[in-house]
Amino acid sequence: MSISCGIVGLPNVGKSTLFNALTRADILAANYPFATIEPNTGIVPVPDERLDVLQKMYAAEKIIPATVTFVDIAGLVAGASKGEGLGNKFLDNIRKTDAIVHVVRAFENDDILRHDEAPVDPKADIEIINTELILADLQTIEKHLPKLQKEAKARPALRETMTYLESLQRHLEEGTPLSALPSLDEEKISDLHLLTAKPVIYAFNVDENGLTDEAHKKELSDLVAPAKSLFVCAKLEEEIKDLTEVEAQELLSSYGVTETGLQQLIHSAYDTLGLQSYLTAGPKEVRAWTIHKGYTAPQAAGVIHTDFERGFIAAQIVDYDDLVAAGSEQAAKAAGKVRTEGKTYVMQPGDVVEFRFNV
């Protein structure tokens, strides 16, 4: 499975600059509203040092990492839910993503235009985006409810769904994004593609000094808690995108940063969406597969091919650390580190797996 994250925010907050840095793309990143009109898409490999180690161990022909798709979506403005700016098109693009990365400007620079020529105000900017998403969801539910209410009169089984949507409508009218609720019945809302039901990661675009300003970072993260927040300097990310890995790490370290913006975003996306990966290895390829946490071995096999899940017999599993310590799969077997698991086994992040199945 592959995951997609929509990068959203007000105009001129650094979305496209950050997208360029994350994907090593060269799209237009201009200093005026709506520099991005069509959504730009970049498929990015998930950094995983284990793949290089296993490639050497198995003398594999190639490596296939897991991937994340980032979509740079046109800047949103107040009134987007009513079609202002590129509103409706923007909102439709968000509906297709698994999670939202909300880029918020948190730095001062007189050379960069503000969307409304007002002082930099992260809280106000966040509220503009959230309000538009809430209004869009209200429109979706209000459009859907009358038909559902009519059908529920003849089909009592639909009344529970109708009541549930009415409760969501009340929360939205109170200004509460659906992602802020303790839980959501995904089955009842799956066909509505509600925007505020998507998990949100807040990426605060700070200047170089802001990367280590812990007091300011706490102040910003408190604005969006309990949602995940991270802090990147889009300008710095742009500088390191063409450097070697060693050079990039040295530059980041000079600013007190241990991870690139890409690494931070991917880790946050996996955590927010409840994902993990497992590995397969052999002479032809070494590969990382993305699955939901809690997947059983047959479900994990189904990510490779649905026939693998249907015909699942067993999984031969060795923990990555045990495999590396042994030096080879044969040595790991000799040391009793390779085991056979059945249909109820819950996959773990360090699993290196070979599935057995009937075709």
As a whole number of angstroms, the distance between CA 33 and CA 41 comes to 19
Residue 83 pLDDT > 70 = no
Report which listed range, 11-15, 128-132, 296-300, is most confident.
296-300
CA distance readout (Å), 141 to 96, 138, 204, 322: 18, 5, 31, 51
Average pLDDT of the residues in 309-333? 97
Whether 105 contacts 119, CB under 8 Å: no
Average pLDDT of the residues in 290-317? 96
The pLDDT value given to residue 197: 94
Strand order in the sheet with 62-64: 62-64, 285-292, 275-281, 351-357, 312-319, 339-341
Over the Cα atoms of the chain, what is R_g?
A: 23
Whether 56 contacts 109, CB under 8 Å: no
The tokens of 190 are what?
């799956």
Residue 47 pLDDT > 90 = no
Query: Residue 289 belongs to what H/E stretch?
Result: strand 285-292
Higher pLDDT, 35 or 252: 252
Band the pLDDT of 297: cuts 50, 70, 90: very high
Task: Go through the chain and tell me how many residues it has.
Answer: 359
Scan for tokens 């939205």, then name that residue: 172
**Dihedral angle at the C-alpha atoms of 189, 194, 196, 197, nearest 10 degrees?**
30
Whether 8 contacts 76, CB under 8 Å: yes
Higher pLDDT, 191 or 322: 322
Nearest to 4 by CA among 87, 76, 93: 93
Band the pLDDT of 340: cuts 50, 70, 90: very high
The pLDDT value given to residue 24: 72
| Range with lowest mean pLDDT among 109-113, 215-219, 279-283 | 109-113
Residue 114 pLDDT > 80 = no
pTM of the model: 0.83
Band the pLDDT of 2: cuts 50, 70, 90: confident
The tokens of 219 are what?
């102040």
Residue 293 pLDDT > 90 = yes
